Structure 1
């Protein structure tokens, strides 16, 4: 049995196609298409160096092109996902150790304790605050706007 180079490239393309169906993502398909292009070059009788060059060029061009096309098509309206400390800004935290003006305290946000300083005066333990900014490992917080409008004393009198 005589095996030709183009047959090996076809086999590589079939294996690549099978892997594409089995694995998540959309990557192996482009290498399978590159293998088909190399099989065509091998069938024309061109050398292994040219086959490898065509395989790499086609695979990488399709890979780079598809990423650009898919990103523009599917991610055009997507906002940048905030993670880590960047995601804390604007979220509420609970004061666990009173925030005394001029000194810090501690707040709990996302189940973690963070050092914090108040931007609007002292804040008692148990109150909700909103994270305004993150500076290193310290959160700068202030009371939510709604709690500034109606003080707890006014709530009790209004009942």
Structure 2
């Protein structure tokens, strides 16, 4: 009598697009990502925060471009190289682009691979960090990109929203 093996139950996980800024690796919910494009110099708009690099026309949609390196206070004078990309996101019924140094891959993380963030003084609001992912010896800062992009200092949403 043979024992038939049952397929392992699939445990739901969450997929993250991972990317690098300076020496750190970050992850954002893949469901927020619309596309990835090479970096093009945006058209600057006067009196916007320094981390908003300007806007680009994406197939008829005007898209604000945010430099995450500058937003996260990782460096005031970013270098845009051959691997620099813009991740186009669908957030809060808006389209927003974020500039990152490079895109790594898409990872599926299970809940047990995500730790809470310790209470530390940092440039990122704690509510904008989902947790710290750990997979294959890599530590990822998992951003709640929607909360990060909807902060009042971004100027992308009204202050009373």
Same fold (TM over 0.5): no
Whose strand fraction is larger, Structure 1's or Structure 2's? 2
Report which structure shows greater RCO (CA 8 Å, sep ≥6): 2
TM-score, normalised via structure 2 length: 0.26
In the superposition, the TM-score normalised over structure 1's length comes to 0.26
